[in-house]
Amino acid sequence: MSLEQFLLAKGISAEKILEIEYIRAVAPRKEEEPSPHDDWVSAVDGSSPRFILTGCCDGLGRVWKEAGLCTHILEGHSDAISSVSIINSEALGSVTVATASKDRTLRLWKFDAEDSNDHPAMIRAFKILRGHNASVHSVAAKTSGDMVCSGSWDCTINLWRTNDSDTDGDVVSIKKRKVNSKAEQSQSEGEAVSMLVGHTQCVSSVVWPQHETIYSASWDHSVRQWDVETGKDLSNIFCGKVLNCIDVGGEGSALIAAGGSDPILRIWDPRKPGTSAPVFQFSSHSSWISACKWHDRSSFHLLSSSYDGKVMLWDLRTAWPLSVLDTHKDKVLCADWWKGDSVVSGGVDAQLRICSDISIP
Amino acid sequence: MRRTSPRSTTPSLKTMNHQESQRPEKVNPLEMRDLGFIESGNNDGLDDNHDQDELADSSQSRQAVDESDSSEDEVAPRNTIGDVPLEWYKDEKHIGYDIAGKKIKKKERQDKLDSFLASADDSKNWRKIYDEYNDEEVELTKEETKLIRRLLKGKAPHAEFDPYAPYVDWFKWDDAKHPLSNAPEPKRRFIPSKWESKKVVEYVRAIRKGLIKFDKPKEEPRLYLLWGDDSSSADRTKHLAYIPPPKPKLPGHEESYNPSLEYLPTQEEINTYQLMYEEDRPKFIPKRFTSFRSIPAYENAIKDSFERCLDLYLCPRVRKKRINIDPESLKPKLPSRKDLRPYPVTCYLEYRGHEGAVLSISVEPSGQWIASGSKDGTVRIWEVETGRCLRVWELGEAVQHVAWNPLLELPILAVSVGSDVLILNTGFGNEEQQRKAKELLQIGTPTSSDDSDDISSVLSWLQDEKHDCIRLRHFRTVSSIEWHRKGDYLSTVMPAGESRAILIHQLSKKLTQRLPFKHHGLPVSSVFHPTRSIFFVATKKNVRVYDLLRQKLIKKLETQLREVSSIAVHPAGDNVIVGSKEGKLCWFDMDLSSKPYKTLKCHPKDITNVAFHRSYPLFASCSDDCTAYVFHGMVYADLNQNPLIVPLEILRGHTSSDGRGVIDCKFHPRQPWLFTAGADSSIKLYCH
């Protein structure tokens, strides 16, 4: 609708002074080639600008340098990968990543992000973290990179050290294994450093945004904030719906965004005293929300993906999505920002899709 | 005004006596005056039959009457000191106080000589009296002296008073209810009256002689009005209930023998009447006749009057008593649906992959996976959260029923395929759990041959190599499987199995036993009690409740349904819901009675399954009409409070296939979610 039409429709005289507020359109201008997987893409992490890490339901993790270019394949899980997390990406040589899987283990992997071959290199985990009694649902790395936490279907959150086996004290056994081709790699097993107990149902998502705080969302309808040092939960936001994803960011890196078993994306401000009502609610999706992520530079922008096959970009200042990406043919299981101007998402159609050239101020 | 003199004078007389006792020769002049007035009033009273006199007298006696009404106190003496000894004032200069409180001065006293001389001179001296109280001399009048004289003689003081006046009886004796005297009843009241008997004899003689004649009895009229009303016209108008018959319509212009031209239909119009339906055709067509002579007889005269009579006779003219009851107020007060949240409302997830109708679903006790069995011969396991199918077993025959073991640490699945029951290892759980499950699913020695009873002939425990599971071969088609809560026993129902229709298998010992009760009717389903060793068997008509420990029948629930299709037990164990093939759902409160507490008729078609939620106060029924109903079913710990049942939601979404709709429904064990399995080969998850 043009301005003239608007004035006519509302019966406003052209003499009148109108105040026009606008939000800059945020929409991807480029749609990259889809990167095919063998099975459902269940997890994606785009926190490193150099590569994208995806987890797949066939139990393999993949590293993508760009759209359609797979550099590494992380092999070892016996069941579907449910979550991936990049632990330290700044290190020049090797990059450490963690994957969580339905086979009740987490695995830590190391690879060199720079080398690129024509064929993707197969990599085995250097450390297997055992301790969960049920499938692990989510993994998140500490910002400093020396610890990861994981949420599992057995209602617990476990904290693990990511240090190499030689410096780590609590290594139980070190197995030397011949890997069929070239390198002889040591594969160590790690045990949980501590366990955060409090959730009564499956912990579906964890984030570790600050040094000493972990946020977790669970199927028992609550969002909890944990103090890593004491292992106690500091606050408890009750939602009423099953929660599937959580992210912390936005203004002051304090807003909690969570989505779950209903089409509403909720955002809480835990700094607001005495209330557990969400400060924002976005309800343009039509099915469960599978992922939500804050933009790491802008404090207003976040994305959400849903089982209705759409990824939506949101601005906190508007009630409607800035743009809807519906390139997926089926449920979208995971989505993340990449390089600050792209959205990567994976879903049931076994494709990793990258929408780039999003101008975010 | 009609005061009789004796009454009104009594007080004055009394005071006079009193004063006389004090000073016998003196009379209070005021009282004398008073008496005088009464005299005149008295005259008046005595001659009260003369009205004119009264009127004439009344004017002059008015004041007197007014004064005579009041007592002596009102004619205030000059002195106000009251009845005190006068010697108190002997030495004072005053004798007392007047009404205004001023002192009354004593008069100048004459010396004795002067007074004597004065009295000797004065011829009227004998009439004068000194009033010591008021300190004045009073001269008595003639009447007063006469009055005193009469008093002295002992007569009535007034000359006019007649002590022998005729007695006037003021009391009306006629209709006094109670006797005024308590004198005993006189004798004459109890003996028959002589005079009356004389009178009776007189009458009897007169009748005999024919002097007295009686009226003849009135004759009843032998004719009655055939067309008249039963009630007289006066009767009718009196009662409100009477409604006069409606008057027949009066003839109008068109029915005239010579109507105006505009009433006459043209020939075309008459022709169009022929095209109309008979009911719509006008009954009367106006016609014009030139003269009275040419008017024919009205052929419908008898028919019309007959119809009028029929109308009057057949249509009851009765005032209807309408009771104004708000239909809303008749509805039971139910809590609002908003307050009963959460409950499943919308379908967000669908599990697709089966190629035939899904006949049965079962949710893993932790709620992470569901298993489904389908008509296409496959058993599938799905991840609840994403809808991913994890495992498929091809069994080759329609899967009737699937059931997860209720133990979390024993991830095995019981599946009924035709006449076999397969106990499958799902492969979930950690290594320890897997090892145990595998151990359990190994048949070491053929133990079944040991017991030589009839069971071995109808059932065998076999090891199935292909699926790495146990195969329990029954002799008839197994329709349903139910696990005991401890996960070791499972019961199977073969509807065609007659006396061995229900078998209970023990997995750890690989043993099978028959239910040690006599079977009645065709068994449909069986359920274990969630906490106690009680076993429910649903037959087509009734539900029987057995105690397995004491081995006896506890209760028989009479469903009053045509055909029971499914049964579910409340997690507390005291309430049972039963679904039937006619679409009725019965809720039994076992503590209340063996009759249904509530019967809900909601589904237009067969109810295929019913389910209770494990922790939320919810239950659901699914039906072949492609819907599932969700109810709130609150059971209170207080035994005085009946369960509260509120219908919450109708869940639609499935499509019909082969005349079947939703075949199975199960609640998520921890969330208020409902899984429904449809004949359209899909499984849907309804979330809150």
Chain segment A19-67, per-residue pLDDT in tens: 888 877 777 878 888 888 889 999 999 888 888 999 999 889 998 888 8
pLDDT confidence bin for B28, thresholds 50/70/90: very low
pLDDT of residue A119: 77
How do residues B18-27 score in pLDDT, each as one tens digit? 444 444 444 4
Q: Is the pLDDT of residue B73 over 50?
A: no
The ipTM estimated for the assembled molecules is 0.88
Q: Do B671 and A42 touch (CB under 8 A)?
A: no
Distance, in angstroms, between A79 CA and closest chain B CA? 10
Query: Shortest CB distance from B386 goes to which of A134, A242, A333?
Result: A333
Q: Do B671 and A133 touch (CB under 8 A)?
A: no
pLDDT of residue B14: 40
Mean pLDDT of the residues in chain A: 84
pLDDT of residue B203: 94
Q: Which residues does chain A have within 8 Å of residue B387's beta carbon, measured at their own beta carbons?
A: 331
Q: Do A240 and B342 touch (CB under 8 A)?
A: yes
Residue A133 in contact with partner chain B when CB distance is under 8 A: yes
Most confident of A82-91, A332-341, B37-46: A332-341
Q: Which residues does chain B have within 8 Å of residue A135's beta carbon, measured at their own beta carbons?
A: 368
pTM (whole model) above 0.90: no
Please tell me the distance from the alpha carbon of residue B424 to that of residue B409, in angstroms, as a whole number: 14
How do residues B345-360 score in pLDDT, each as one tens digit? 999 889 989 999 999 9
- Give the dihedral of Cα atoms A11, A14, A18, A24; nearest 10 deg: 90
Q: Do A307 and B349 touch (CB under 8 A)?
A: yes
pLDDT of residue B666: 93
Domains of chain B, first to last: 339-687 (2.130.10.10)
pLDDT of residue B446: 53
pLDDT confidence bin for B84, thresholds 50/70/90: confident
pLDDT of residue B168: 84
Residues of B with CB under 8 A from a CB of A: 342, 348-349, 366-368, 385-388, 430, 670-671, 673, 687-688
Helix (H, G, I), strand (E, B) or coil at B543: strand
Q: Which residues between 185 and 214 in chain A have a beta carbon less than 8 angstroms from any beta carbon of chain B?
A: 201-202, 204
Q: Do A153 and B342 touch (CB under 8 A)?
A: no
pLDDT of residue B403: 92
Domains of chain A, first to last: 30-160+185-356 (2.130.10.10)
Give the C-alpha distances (Å, rounded to integers) separating B665 from B305, B366, B384, B393, B626: 69, 17, 15, 21, 12
Query: Shortest CB distance from B348 goes to which of A42, A133, A287?
Result: A287
Distance, in angstroms, between A201 CA and closest chain B CA? 8
User: B495: left (phi > 0), else alpha (psi -120 to 50), else beta?
Assistant: alpha
DSSP assignments along B68-100, one per residue: HHS-GGGS--S--S-S--GGGGTTSSEEEE-TT
Percent of chain B with pLDDT over 90: 19
pLDDT confidence bin for B31, thresholds 50/70/90: very low
Give the residue, B633 or A177, on which the prediction is more confident: B633
Q: Is the pLDDT of residue A265 over 70?
A: yes
pLDDT confidence bin for B202, thresholds 50/70/90: very high
Span B397-413, mean pLDDT? 89
Q: Which residues does chain A have within 8 Å of residue B368's beta carbon, measured at their own beta carbons?
A: 134-135, 153, 202
Query: Shortest CB distance from A57 goes to which of B367, B388, B671?
Result: B388
Q: Which residues does chain B have within 8 Å of residue A263's beta carbon, measured at their own beta carbons?
A: 348
How do residues B238-294 score in pLDDT, each as one tens digit? 666 678 888 888 888 888 888 998 888 888 988 898 888 888 888 888 888 988 899
Query: In this predicted structure, which of A40-54, A145-159, B83-97, B568-582 has the lowest mean pLDDT?
Result: B83-97
Distance, in angstroms, between B429 CA and closest chain A CA? 7
Q: Residue B605 corresponds to which amino acid?
A: K
Distance, in angstroms, between B628 CA and closest chain A CA? 20
